[in-house]
């Protein structure tokens, strides 16, 4: 089976998966919600263990953003269950999000999570999926580099802010070096709008194409 190529803007593919919380249909199980699907190379590995703890300890922040988490690796469900139990007993962290048991690797191949030059396990892939089941961002990390979950929370906040206000999000928001927590107003598409924008007291501009405002 060839590895699929999935793009930002695609609909998340329909999948039937077995998880630590029973069978799920994706993306239907999370219909109307944001969700983050993330893959890890293998159970009972050091970096992956730190990631699971980091995800779980931010669960309330994800919930506040109406965002669900679901993990995946090419392991049996029994291995997942034993591993999350070990995390609970030894690291005092109960894993409450489901983890897909992709024993055959079929789901990983469908999602493009096996990169031939990085071995036969899944890379550290991350899919951000919106309430309309559209993939909004895809990130890949190698096996040796753990992820930053605070950035994922920032990204969800940024997407939700952009969608709600019709704006764009600057670098390092909400601590942008130029505009702090302001957001970017999309460039005007005609001369009239550009002129009116320069007169709008709620919008600050360095030029007609570079404007920002508070939300």
The class level of CATH for 15-147 reads alpha beta
The Cβ of residue 171 has, within 10 Å, a number of other Cβ atoms equal to: 10
Domain ranges for the chain, please list them.
15-147, 166-213
115, with CB counted inside 10 A (0-12, 13-18, 19+), is middle
- The pLDDT tens digits for 183-206 are 999 988 899 988 888 888 999 999
Q: Is 8 in contact with 136 (CB distance < 8 Å)?
A: yes
For domain 166-213, give its CATH number from 3.40.50.1970, 3.30.1020.10, 3.40.449.10, 3.10.20.30.
3.30.1020.10
Torsion on CA atoms 192, 198, 201, 204, rounded to nearest 10: 130
* Catalytic-labelled residue, pool 15, 26, 48, 167: 48
Which of the four pLDDT bands, split at 50, 70 and 90, describes residue 120? Answer: confident
- The pLDDT tens digits for 24-45 are 999 999 999 999 999 999 999 9
How many helices (H) and strands (E) the chain has is answered by: 6, 10
SS3 101: strand
Known active-site residue 205: no
Which of the four pLDDT bands, split at 50, 70 and 90, describes residue 164? Answer: very high
């Amino acid at each position: 089976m060839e590895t699929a190529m999935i793009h930002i803007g695609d609909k998340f593919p329909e999948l039937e998966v077995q998880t630590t919380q029973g069978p799920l249909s994706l993306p239907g199980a999370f219909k109307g919600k944001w969700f983050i699907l993330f893959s890890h190379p293998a159970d009972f590995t050091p970096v992956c263990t730190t990631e699971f703890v980091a995800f779980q300890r931010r669960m309330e922040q994800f919930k506040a953003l109406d965002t669900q988490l679901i993990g995946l690796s090419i392991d049996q469900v029994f291995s997942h269950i034993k591993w999350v139990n070990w995390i609970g007993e030894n690291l005092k962290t109960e894993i409450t999000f489901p983890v897909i048991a992709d024993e055959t690797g079929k789901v990983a191949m469908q999602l493009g999570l096996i990169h031939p030059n990085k071995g036969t396990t899944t890379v550290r892939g991350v899919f951000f999926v919106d309430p309309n089941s559209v993939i909004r961002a895809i990130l890949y990390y190698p096996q040796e580099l753990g992820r930053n979950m605070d950035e994922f929370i920032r990204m969800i906040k940024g997407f939700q802010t952009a969608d709600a206000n019709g704006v764009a999000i600057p670098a390092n928001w909400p601590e942008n070096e130029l505009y702090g927590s302001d957001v970017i107003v999309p460039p005007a598409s005609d001369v009239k709008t550009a002129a009116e924008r320069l007169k709008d007291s709620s919008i600050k501009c360095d030029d007609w194409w570079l404007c920002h405002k508070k939300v």
